[in-house]
Chains A and B, each alone.
Chain A
Amino acid sequence: MIYRETGQFKTSYAADQQIFPIRQDRIGIAILLAFAFVVVPLTAGNYWFNAILIPFLIFSLAALGLNILTGYAGQLSLGSAAFMAVGAYAAYNFQVRIEGMPVLLSFILAGLTAAGVGILFGLPSLRIKGFYLAVATLAAQFFIVWCLTKFPYLSNYSASGVISVPNVEILGYTFDTPQSRYLLVLSIVSLMALLAKNMVRSSTGRAWMAVRDMDVAAEVIGIRLMRTKLLAFAISSFYCGVAGALYAFCYLGSVEPDGFSLDLSFKILFMIIVGGVGSILGSFLGAAFILLVPIFLDIVLPWLSELLHLPVDSATVSHMQLMVFGELIMFFLIVEPHGLARLWQIGKEKLRLWPFPH
């Protein structure tokens, strides 16, 4: 009975409409944020920042972007990585071409550029749905990566489109340690997650979900399908674009067009499938899961093979990884389509009744 809402009566609709209406959730998120902003920077080592935490946050943001489009607005997309690429290259161009351009502003402009491109490739969604739309977004995926390789201008005439971004500097402070970059990414991602949560809990988000669940009824209510879908494409691409800029500026430092391949798009799609389609929390859980499972298997499989005296080489380990991965994704598609976020919710509901199951 540690986790329960009994006795917490909502005396106003305002209280009922909070992001976390249950007190234990509010305490939980406060502890989590304090931990992420204070404890982690003081204790974690460079490996954690560079190999786990920073990519986790950036992919969470990209997954959040895709979740807005696919999970909330119901428009399947296989082009997330391409929109990340647009963001990365746009931010780079704004930085190198405009003298004195503040880096945060170039991130925002990168997001807006991606949003524009997203609207363009979202236009087919007005005519086609589901599988066919996915194929149309696949065209975006290939076309954008092709453009970045084909037009040297976009990569400032660097060899084979590889761009090396300058260090991030804000108000004279250079983000040159992994720790400082982690804090920058964490701040941006937390803020954008909050903005996304606010959108999905108000009429913007309801319009998306209405279009997803029953488009004729949505139209009859007066929701404009075109505007609603294109807004979802724009905002989703904005999120992916900023994630792409962070990917280049705060994670890798140098990127090439092929780094934003279809593989990466699928990875982001798997994140929302595993984490939870139509859930902000699910975007984070899914990103963590997809990034951590390979690392976990890397450690566990060799250890297991030693334990069982089975010779396993590294090629087998990576094959095993793929198999485990595939099975997990099938599990979530078939058994729990709402992903980890739903499992978390079920867990909480159980806890709410514990120790008196009914």
Chain B
Amino acid sequence: MARKIGEVILDLRHISLSFGGVKALTDISFDVREHEIRAIIGPNGAGKSSMLNVINGVYRPQQGEIIFQGEHRKDMDTHAAAAAGIARTFQNIALFKGMTVLDNLMTGRNLKMRCNFLQHALWWGPAQREELEHRRKVEEIIDFLEIEHIRKTPVGRLPYGLQKRVELGRALAAEPKMLLLDEPMAGMNVEEKQDMCRFILDVNDQFGTTIVLIEHDMGVVMDISDRVVVLDYGRKIADGTPDEVKNDPEVIAAYLGTQH
């Protein structure tokens, strides 16, 4: 690959998170380097989604430290994460169902828009200019994801696979530094998976976006990720390149253990 992997951009140290008595994450540390594709894998309930939620401030860990771009934090805050350039998609699609594809993507750029509601009410002038400027950017993403034909469709009416793609579009609309993808290919057919893979690789390649990816399809993970973290019962059991991880006896045991 031509792209160059950079310095550590996100460093998670000794993260522990529990809900009441349930320990979702126990003392987890790993880092993510700039421009890399970092996968998180593990059986169901291992704590993968919780990990993403900690990274962008939806959950606050009881212990640990999050260092993003050199800034040390005890926990993240959703707004701060968004402002720092972290965008994400959800395991269960979390689109704005009543809005069109175009509006969903425009909403993704919310933080980049400066006009206030009075300027919006008056429309002509700054608000319209801003709207057009951002519309242009959003149209680039629409072209990139090949969803021109559905831009005016309310997302609630779209099939599942396309909704997943639109959700990626909404995250991309923010022009994020780091993209957190929670099972972007779950429930897709082979063709849709291939498309999604291509988009993820292209985003990483063309925009240099760092990607943290949760995925169950081992073939995909081994193909596209640079490094893999393996979680099991809220603990980290392995961390390394796809090849290292694949042959790790503990990983094999964890996966065999859940399959019998």
| A198:B106 contact, CB within 8 angstroms | no
Could you mark each residue 93-130 of chain A with 1 if its beta carbon is under 8 Å from any beta carbon of chain B, else 0? 00000000000000000000000000000000000000
Chain B residues near A17 (CB, 8 Å)?
128, 131-132, 135
Q: Counting CB contacts under 8 A, is A206 at the interface? A: yes
Give the CA-CA distance A199 to B128 in the complex, in Å.
11
Chain A residues near B194 (CB, 8 Å)?
none
Contacts A198-B120, A217-B94 hold; do A222 and B82 have CB atoms under 8 A apart? yes
Q: Counting CB contacts under 8 A, is B90 at the interface? A: yes
Stretch of B39-47, B96-104, B202-210 that contacts chain A: B96-104
| A209:B103 contact, CB within 8 angstroms | yes
Q: Counting CB contacts under 8 A, is A210 at the interface? A: yes
The total of Cβ contacts below 8 Å across the A-B interface reads 106
| B79:A224 contact, CB within 8 angstroms | yes
Q: Counting CB contacts under 8 A, is A204 at the interface? A: yes
Q: Counting CB contacts under 8 A, is A356 at the interface? A: no
Within the complex, the shortest CB–CB distance from B180 to chain A, in Å, comes to 9
| B94:A13 contact, CB within 8 angstroms | no
Query: Among residues 185 to 212 in chain A, which have CB atoms less than 8 Å away from a CB atom of chain B?
Result: 195-196, 198-199, 202-207, 209-210, 212
Chain A residues in contact with chain B, CB under 8 A?
13-14, 17, 195-196, 198-199, 202-207, 209-210, 212-214, 216-224, 231, 235, 278
Within the complex, the shortest CB–CB distance from B68 to chain A, in Å, comes to 15
| A202:B127 contact, CB within 8 angstroms | yes
Chain A residues near B110 (CB, 8 Å)?
203, 206-207, 210, 221-223
B122's partner among A198, A206, A217 (CB-CB below 8 A) is A198
Contacts A14-B128, A17-B132, A198-B122 hold; do A222 and B99 have CB atoms under 8 A apart? no
Could you mark each residue 141-169 of chain B with 1 if its beta carbon is under 8 Å from any beta carbon of chain A, else 0? 00000000000000000000000000000
Contacts A202-B120, A204-B117 hold; do A13 and B107 have CB atoms under 8 A apart? no
Interface centre among A17, A214, A221 (most CB of B within 10 A): A221
| A198:B121 contact, CB within 8 angstroms | yes
Within the complex, the shortest CB–CB distance from A235 to chain B, in Å, comes to 7
Residue of A nearest to B106 (CB): A206
Query: Among residues 160 to 202 in chain B, which have CB atoms less than 8 Å away from a CB atom of chain A?
Result: 170, 174
| B82:A220 contact, CB within 8 angstroms | yes
Within the complex, the shortest CB–CB distance from A238 to chain B, in Å, comes to 11
Within the complex, the shortest CB–CB distance from A76 to chain B, in Å, comes to 15
Chain A residues near B60 (CB, 8 Å)?
none
Chain B residues in contact with chain A, CB under 8 A?
56, 58, 78-79, 81-83, 87-88, 90, 94-99, 103, 106-111, 113, 115-117, 120-123, 127-128, 131-132, 135-136, 139, 170, 174
Interface centre among B113, B116, B121, B122 (most CB of A within 10 A): B121
Chain B residues near A202 (CB, 8 Å)?
115, 120, 123, 127, 131
| A203:B115 contact, CB within 8 angstroms | yes
Q: Identify the 6 closest CB pairs spanning chains A and B, nearest first.
A: A222-B82, A213-B96, A198-B123, A222-B111, A217-B94, A202-B120
| A231:B78 contact, CB within 8 angstroms | no
Within the complex, the shortest CB–CB distance from A179 to chain B, in Å, comes to 29
Residue of A nearest to B136 (CB): A13
| A210:B97 contact, CB within 8 angstroms | no
Contacts A217-B90, A222-B82 hold; do A206 and B111 have CB atoms under 8 A apart? no
Within the complex, the shortest CB–CB distance from A208 to chain B, in Å, comes to 10
Give the CA-CA distance A219 to B63 in the complex, in Å.
23
| A217:B132 contact, CB within 8 angstroms | no
Residue of B nearest to A19 (CB): B123
Chain A residues near B131 (CB, 8 Å)?
17, 202-203
Chain A residues near B113 (CB, 8 Å)?
203
Within the complex, the shortest CB–CB distance from A247 to chain B, in Å, comes to 23
Residue of A nearest to B121 (CB): A195
Give the CA-CA distance A324 to B78 in the complex, in Å.
49
| B79:A219 contact, CB within 8 angstroms | yes
| B97:A214 contact, CB within 8 angstroms | yes
Within the complex, the shortest CB–CB distance from B36 to chain A, in Å, comes to 22
Would you give 11 A-B contacts (Cβ < 8 Å), ordered by A? Answer: A13-B136, A17-B132, A198-B123, A206-B103, A206-B107, A213-B97, A220-B58, A221-B111, A222-B78, A222-B174, A224-B79
Give the CA-CA distance A278 to B96 in the complex, in Å.
14
Within the complex, the shortest CB–CB distance from A236 to chain B, in Å, comes to 12
Chain B residues near A216 (CB, 8 Å)?
58, 90, 94
| A217:B82 contact, CB within 8 angstroms | no
Chain B residues near A223 (CB, 8 Å)?
107, 110
Chain B residues near A212 (CB, 8 Å)?
96, 98
Give the CA-CA distance A261 to B62 in the complex, in Å.
49
Residue of B nearest to A277 (CB): B98
Within the complex, the shortest CB–CB distance from A335 to chain B, in Å, comes to 18
